[in-house]
Amino acid sequence: MIGISGLCKYFHRGSVNEVLALGGIDLQVRRGDFITVVGSNGAGKSTLLNCLAGSYPIDGGRIVIDDCDVTSWPEHRRARLISRVFQDPLKGTCGSLSIEQNLALAARRGRPHGLGLGVRRRDRDVFRRQLAQLGLGLEERLKDQVGLLSGGQRQALTLLMATLVRPQILLLDEHTAALDPKTALQVLELTEKMVAELHLTALMVTHNMRQALQLGNRLIMLHGGRVILDISGEEKGRMTVEGLLQRFYAVRGETFDSDRMLLV
């Protein structure tokens, strides 16, 4: 479903500050894969998602989605296929608009003349039903400004907006990292539910190793801009955090180094 081959990405190429962020990523993602992405500091996790979404131009390689070469597609064109949720809950929603206006915008994604803010009664009923699934009582607050919501409520709403028009691919970049542990867990459960119910193909960057092992059917580990571990199915099911660290050591000959990664 997604074919990434030889993906290379430099920052500040040709200058003294040159960084090779992705050094030839090859990754075949099957339809319905829910891949958790882990890695050390600066491993290239966010850059990979940004290149996939078309936010960054790439310096080499190809990206194919559903047999269509999207390598030269700009970000807005890829946004018809790809939805994203970022770490910052403020990024995916508009705080000055109401919940229903935000949802109305999300519902028009990919359609022409997609920026109207009008909300029809029929839409409102659908929004109410969708919001009720979140279990946060937001269905009673359709006219509330999103800026009034807590970080967790806002991130749950972002997730709903990202999937309201079913995307081919859902990209989650540490989307629970800014939330308190209880809320993070709620949003993660919601993520799992949505991915399963909508049969989404998803990549989720997380700094929590245990979470990465618990969620999804496949785990990849990046280091130095390359995929150094790719496990799925039973192998992933049996894997422990200690096992992951040992595998890292076996491949790299050094201990895993990340000040942000939760290893317990």
Ligand X SMILES: Nc1ncnc2c1ncn2[C@@H]1O[C@H](COP(=O)(O)OP(=O)(O)OP(=O)(O)O)[C@@H](O)[C@H]1O
Interface with ligand X, residue 47, by CB under 6 A: yes
Task: Outline where DSSP puts E strands in 104-185.
Answer: 169-173
Interface with ligand X, residue 23, by CB under 6 A: no
Please count the residues of this chain forming the interface with ligand X, following the rule CB under 6 A.
12
**Span near ligand X by CB under 6 A; candidates 38-46, 77-85, 156-164, 191-199:** 38-46
Is 143 exposed, middle or buried (CB count within 10 Å of its CB: 0-12, 13-18, 19+)? exposed
What are the Cα distances from residue 228, in Å, to 26, 27, 171, 211, 237? 11, 11, 20, 19, 18
**Span near ligand X by CB under 6 A; candidates 39-47, 57-65, 87-95, 123-131:** 39-47
For tokens 């920026």, the residue is 115
The residue within the footprint of ligand X, chosen from 2, 44, 58, 215 (CB under 6 A), is: 44
Interface with ligand X, residue 154, by CB under 6 A: no
The residue within the footprint of ligand X, chosen from 4, 7, 39, 227 (CB under 6 A), is: 39
| Strand partners of residue 20 | 10
The residue within the footprint of ligand X, chosen from 1, 8, 19, 245 (CB under 6 A), is: 19
**Span near ligand X by CB under 6 A; candidates 41-49, 119-127, 192-200, 243-251:** 41-49
Choose between 28 and 41: whose C-beta lies nearer to ligand X.
41
Query: In which order are the strands placed within the sheet that holds 19-29?
Result: 19-29, 2-11, 60-65, 68-69
Interface with ligand X, residue 260, by CB under 6 A: yes
Interface with ligand X, residue 13, by CB under 6 A: no
| Strand partners of residue 68 | 65
Cα 207 to chain center, whole Å?
13
Interface with ligand X, residue 27, by CB under 6 A: no
Interface with ligand X, residue 46, by CB under 6 A: yes
Euclidean distance between CA atoms 19 and 58, whole angstroms: 13
**Residues of this chain that bind ligand X (CB under 6 A):** 11, 19, 21, 39, 41-47, 260
